[in-house]
Structure 1
Amino acid sequence: MELSVEASMTAASGGRKRRCPPRGLGDLHDDVLERVLARLPPVSFFRLRAVCRRWCAAAASPTFLDACGRVPSRDPWFLMLSDRPHPPLAFDAAESSWNPCRAAPGPAAVPVASSGGLVLYRAPDTGALVVANPLTGATRALPSPPPPQGHGAPQLHSIAMYGSPYRVALFTGELPHLFMALFDSSRDSWEGPVALSRRSEAVLPDAPPHGGASAGADDTVYFLSKSGDVVATNMQRSASKQYSSVVAPSDGRDGEAVAYFLSHSGTVVACDTARRTFAELPRILPVYFEYSIDVVACNGAAYAVVLAEYLDTASLRVWEFAGGAWRQVAAMPPAMSHAFYGKKADINCVGHGDRLMVCVSSGEANGCFMCDVSSNQWEELPKCVNGDGEVNEFLAAFSFEPRLEISV
């Protein structure tokens, strides 16, 4: 009688049934292994080379970077900024953990903007600009920008970074004489500066709808200059946020981009970079109110975040400009915001996707909070404890998408 294959193998092994060894990552073809490793959490990239020789070779392979580029999106990291020196740290929104980042390009360089997987640094003494990938440490020094136009020493209002290939916009001057210079990374050159003329607020485009396309060449750029004249409590504590900028998609018109910043009187100034015009938007709060304000982009739209005090309590609210007026879209629960009453706190905000991070700082109360703007759900971030057992207090943050394959 003819035995089956399984019975023959059992008989040959003395009655014991032989089993095939389990297959693991070591049995995968190199390109399949690279695709698997590319989908690991970004924090794992720091440890790939230490696992084994094969993984070390995979991490150094150009095809591995190609596999990373095929991952459609990654949850954001938030580069945290403090007034105390410590190794660069980022908050991983997906893992709710604190991770190390590569050091800044130079001891005096200050982060001023971010876009995609890149962060833009500026040297306060020289104004030199450097683009860096905080995950890999790769850097690129930008050419010197053109000299600013205007009378006297024109003020730098803000620095905006957006698009892919990325662009950097500098806004200088004094109202009503504003100028814009634009750097295009694909050309490695600056354009301008060009003058912006005053225009009626009524003809400016409305804010883009929620859920717009990802930022690209046709972007709406929102920014503000947070001087002591803007915040009545004079609580500007982070030099990084002095020229901070945020980016949201445009309303779809070719070549259209609108930039927003705060004037010294507290009004929001809107600059149409395609038409070379600007206008002042209505105030959110009366001029005599004391408040801290920041501008942020989330979920394809731009918002103003305002911390103010009313009727013996503090209120932190998120506003969107649409239809020619400001409307509230989210608010921190009163039980959270009341802790900042009477503390003369300053807020610095950053957004990515649906997430909005608010860093609140003062001499008496500090904390970082995350809000899902679409659902108005708020949570306080876990504390970050350093090696000495002390809690790190962060003043501001910049968001970036942790990607190995992004070049500068």
Structure 2
Amino acid sequence: MLETPSRRAPKDRKRTEVSGSDETMEDIWRDFPEDLYEAVIARLPIATFFRFRSVCQNWNSLLKSNSFTLQCAQFLPRQTWFYTITHEIVNSGAMYDPDSRKWHHPIVPKIPTKMIVLPVASAGGLLCFLDIGHRSFYVCNPLTNSFKELPTRSAKIRSRVAVGMIMNEKLGKGAYSIMWLATNGEYEVYDSIKNSWTREGTMPDCIKLPLSLNFNMQIVAAGGLMYLLRSDPDGILSYDMESRVWKQYLVPAPPQSRDHALAECGGRIMLVGLVTKNAATCVSVWELQKMTLLWKEVDRMPNVMCLEFYGKHVKLSCLGNKGLLMLSLETKMMNRLITYDILKKEWLKVPGCMPPHRRKQLLIACGTAFHPSITAVA
């Protein structure tokens, strides 16, 4: 009988302490200077901001606040996210946050649902979409649904294309440029300030045409330049967005490799691809040696990850081309997603993409990396 109160006493004291702690926190936040709220919120992870935004209308108004935009601009872009399209739900995206290792399922309401629209490039928190018929371009911020359909181009695209996007602050705050390139060497550049396309012409005669292009061939933007991988002959094309000059570098592909994708990290040009020897297949990473114009292998996927692909035909797709990559390794029986951090040389398996109210994981069809931003405007 006497033991019962002694067991409850600590619990009662704990309840009192928690209650007192809650009251103290309420007092702190009640007296917290209003001009510091935005500074604190701007430092929160993107996912946390949107979780609280769903239950607090005042947080929604921050997206239209100029002072909040300035607070966010003081910070470097957060960790890379990935925006993907699945085979099952083509026009509904799935975003992956590597920090929390969670999938999010946004809805971009203004994207047409009667046609297949794919993400083809990104810059400054914005995504560029192109319909599979090459007729219409769209730009949007998938976090805020800021959306714009780009004007009709002067030239019709009758072949496969590659698309690149780059921020261009020299043109104005939040300005960006988009370039599409066709297999015959024709290309156009979009200026977001003028809201118009400029037909620049065709590539110089020294560049062999036609080019081998497809939706999965990503253009890498770095330092005002656009880089593109080419074949026959193997090499890299570069386009200077300011001087409007094309250059070609002949770089032989690494032996016994295929399914190449170009990437960039801190000004270094990288290459990702599959290497197959006998029945063993593995992902390798190379860095371009600028003096010799040769690829040097700098990393390889751990053997324990390669084992599950032994003896199987594997197809590699690379989503994203900056410091963090998402690799899609597909066989007849599975689709494995792996992230690779170029600086850390870290390989991590990505959890399956399971949308709400579904029991089956979705298969990723294509996608691109982007830096999430709650202030970027299309």
Query: In structure 2, which of residues 115, 128, 139 is the aligned counterpart of residue 120 of structure 1?
Result: 128
Aligned residue type for 2:120: V
Q: If the length of structure 1 is used for normalisation, what is the TM-score?
A: 0.74
* 2:313 aligned residue: 344
Residue aligning to 1:316 = 283
Match of 1:260 in 2: 228
Is 1:43–1:99's contact at 8 Å kept on the other side of the alignment? Answer: no
Structure 2 partner of 1:307? 274
Residue 80 (structure 2) pairs with residue 106 (structure 1):
no
1:363 matched to which residue of 2? 332
Match of 2:371 in 1: 401
Contact 2:219 2:226 in 1 (8 A): no
Over 3 Å counting, the alpha-carbon distance change for 1:122 and 1:188 in structure 2 is same
Aligned counterparts of 2:102 and 2:182: Cα–Cα separation in 1? 38
Question: What CA distance in whole angstroms lies between the structure 1 residues aligned with 2:249 and 2:267?
Answer: 22
Sort the Cα spacing of 1:29 and 1:330 in 2 relative to 1 into closer, same or farther, 3 A.
same
- In 2, distance between residues paired with 1:75 and 1:280? 31
**Structure 1 segment 220-369 matched on structure 2, within 5 A:** 240-241=215-216, 243-249=217-223, 257-263=225-231, 265=232, 267-273=234-240, 274=243, 276-279=245-248, 281-285=250-254, 291-322=258-289, 323=291, 324-351=293-320, 354-369=323-338
What is the CA RMSD across the aligned residues, in angstroms? 3.0
Q: Which residue of 1 aligns with 2:190?
A: 183
Shift of 1:358: 1.0
Say whether residues 1:140 and 2:110 are aligned partners.
Answer: no
Once the 2 structures are TM-superposed, how far is the Cα of residue 55 of structure 1 from its aligned partner?
4.3
* CA distances 1:82-117 after superposition (whole Å, capped 9, x unpaired): 211174221112222212323262222211111120
In the alignment, the residues of structure 2 paired with residue 66 and residue 275 of structure 1 have an alpha-carbon distance, to the nearest angstrom, of 32
TM-score normalised by the chain length of structure 2: 0.79
Measured after TM superposition, the shift of residue 402 of structure 1 is 1.4
**C-alpha separation in 2, matches of 1:301 and 1:293:** 16
Distance 1:59 1:125, change over 3 A: closer
**Residues 223-267 of structure 1: per-residue CA shift (max 9 Å, x gap):** x9555xxxxxxxxxxxx52x53222236xxxxxx3532333x472
Aligned to 2:179: 169
Query: Which residue matches 1:206?
Result: none
Cα separation, partners in 2 of 1:71 and 1:272, compared to 1, 3 Å? closer
Label 1:272 to 1:291 Cα distance change in 2 as closer, same or farther (>3 A): same
Which amino acid counterpart does residue 390 of structure 1 have in structure 2?
Answer: K
CA contact (8 A) 1:146 1:193 kept: no
2:108 & 2:222 partners in 1: Cα distance?
Answer: 28
> Cα 1:156–1:280, aligned 2, differ >3 Å: closer, same or farther?
farther
Amino acid at match of 1:356: L
State the distance in 2 between where 1:97 and 1:290 align. 32
- Counterpart amino acid of residue 155 in structure 2: P
Q: Tell me if the contact between 2:317 and 2:329 (Cα under 8 Å) persists in the aligned partners.
A: yes
The 3-state SS of whatever aligns with 1:183 is strand
Q: What is the aligned partner in structure 2 of residue 390 from structure 1?
A: 360
Look up the SS of the partner of 2:270 in the other structure.
strand
Structure 1 unaligned spans of 5+: 1-18, 202-223, 228-239, 251-256
The letter of the residue matching 1:392 is L
In structure 2, the CA distance between the partners of 1:382 and 1:307, relative to structure 1 (3 Å rule), is same
- Fraction of identical pairs, as percent: 23
Report if the CA contact (8 A) 1:58-1:64 is conserved. yes
SS of the residue corresponding to residue 203 of structure 2 reads strand
Structure 1 residue 354: Cα displacement: 3.1
Q: Secondary structure at the match of 1:73?
A: coil
The match for 1:92 is 97
CA distance in structure 1 between the aligned counterparts of 2:271 and 2:140, rounded to whole angstroms: 27
Q: CA deviation at 1:381?
A: 1.4
